[in-house]
Amino acid sequence: MTSGFHKLLAGVLLVLCSGMLQAATVQGLYIAELIVPEQQSQPAQSQLQQGLQQVLIKVSGSGEVTNKPAVAAALQQPAALMQQFSYQSTQIPVATGDGREVLGQRLIMEFDPILVDGLLSDAGAAAIGHARPEVLVWLVAQQSSGQRDFLAPDGRIYSELNGLALQRGLPVVAPLYDLADQQALALSDIWGFFEAPIRTASNRYQPDAVLVGRLIQSERGGWQTEWQLYSDSQVRTLQPGGSLSQQLQGVMDETADQVLATLSSSGFRYQETGLQLEVVNINSIADFLQLTAYVRQLPPVESALVSQVNNDRVIFRVEMQGGIETLEQAVRLNPRMSLMPRLSGDRALGNGTADDGASGISYRWQE
């Protein structure tokens, strides 16, 4: 195996960290979706460009990444980074080029993680990983009649915000608005942006940041929105303009830029959790991709994040149902996975740092 392979593989890993916070895991970072009028044998150039832009923004966490010269150049040949695509029928109406309205097709484009991360590195950016800060969203609205109430988490506004957050790779959650929430936080507290009770009530959900929005409907049916974002000890006021959809887009973009930017700062660290799975003898990108896909599809595995690469060793952090014995049972029928002595202490981490108490297991990948 060449040192060039090791450098390339290490350069495309997730953000590695140890510290005090827990992260939400975001999937589908390298997948983009568009609603299009019809299926084609190959996606159009403009569709591939939109898809690659979506992925680069999600993976990097930055809405400005597409302005970088290296990224702008790559967007001229987006097909070079695409792995595969597919279509799904929808019930969403969409206009065709000749003015007709048809039921749209969902175009799903999957881009190569190795190439995408390499492009970001060339552009002076970075892939910030699947472990992301989670944002709790409280919403209240005043109807044109003057009546105020909490907005339902299964309603249109939350649904639209969630879709926009997915486009940015930002995990968002809604409160339950149950009796415990109502006792801890009055509607007037949210409407008045009273920070202390909002933060206290939010502690129940252990979010990394809290977004609070108040929406005011005019007599003509239009909406004006005002927001506050609580992140660590900071408070940021957001006042987007335009239509309601444009305001939601603006506030979610600003929230994502603000919250995800913390991942590139030296003061922000996540505590890695889960069983440590080490696999040695990984000698090519193909080995790495096959191994990663295999580990993630194992029945007891709920999530598997690459923690580090060191020479021919790959270490995963695996969240799963059951313990080491459950994983051993799931793996034992695969002839390419040969069990080795279990990991412990510094060897489990592989970097000379102190062990955090997580148990580990080691395998050799057979040729």
Residue 362 CA from chain centroid, whole number? 28
**pLDDT at residue 323 above 90?**
no
Q: Are strands 209-217 and 135-142 parallel, antiparallel or unpaired?
A: parallel
> Rounded mean pLDDT of 253-274?
70
pLDDT at 285 over 60: yes
Give me the residue label for tokens 């096959």.
Answer: 290
Looking at residue 6, what is its pLDDT?
A: 53
Q: What is the pLDDT of residues 324-342, one digit of tens each?
A: 888 888 888 888 999 987 6
Supply the pLDDT for residue 356: 41
* Band of residue 217 on the pLDDT scale cut at 50, 70, 90: very high
Q: What is the pLDDT of residue 303?
A: 83
pLDDT tens digits for range 107-153: 999 999 989 999 998 999 988 888 889 999 999 999 999 999 999 99
Q: Give yes or no for residue 353 having a pLDDT over 60.
A: no
Mean pLDDT of 63-82: 95
For residue 344, is pLDDT > 60? Answer: no
Tell me yes or no: is domain 133-264 CATH 3.40.50.
Answer: yes
354 pLDDT more than 60: no
Look at residue 69 and tell me whether its pLDDT is greater than 70. Answer: yes
Residues across the chain: 367
Is 345's pLDDT higher than 60?
no
Give residue limits of the domains in the chain: 17-131, 133-264, 275-365
pLDDT tier for residue 273 given thresholds of 50, 70 and 90? low
Query: Beta strand pairing status for 172-173 and 209-217?
Result: unpaired
- pLDDT surpassing 90 at residue 11: no
Q: How many CB atoms lie within 10 A of CB 198?
A: 20
Poorest-pLDDT segment among 50-64, 245-259, 342-356: 342-356
Quick check: 13 pLDDT over 50?
no
SS3 52: helix
pLDDT value at 191 more than 80: yes
Indicate the Cα dihedral angle 365, 302, 305, 170, nearest 10°: 160
- Work out the average pLDDT over 208-212: 96
Contact 30, 60 (CB under 8 A): no
Residues 6+ apart with CB under 8 A from 94: 35, 36, 37, 101, 102, 103, 104
- Whole-angstrom distance, CA of residue 281 vs CA of residue 285: 12
Give the Cα separation of 236 and 209 in Å (integer).
Answer: 11
Average pLDDT taken over every residue of the chain: 85
